[in-house]
Amino acid sequence: MIIYNVTLSINPTMESSVLAWLRETHIPEVMATGLFLSNNMFKIIESHTERSHNSYAIQYTLESWEKFNDYSSNHAAELQSKTKLKFGENVLAFRTFLEKI
What's the pLDDT tens digit per position in 21-55? 999 999 999 999 999 999 999 999 876 666 556 89
Per the structure, the count of domains in the chain is 1
**Does residue 53 contact residue 43 with C-beta atoms inside 8 Å?**
yes
Percent of the chain's residues with pLDDT above 70: 93
Instruction: Look up the domain containing 88 and give its range.
Output: 2-99
d(CA 36, CA 68): 8
- The span from the CA of 49 to the CA of 47, in Å, is 5
pLDDT in tens, 86-100: 999 999 999 999 988
CATH code of the domain in which 20 resides:
3.30.70.100
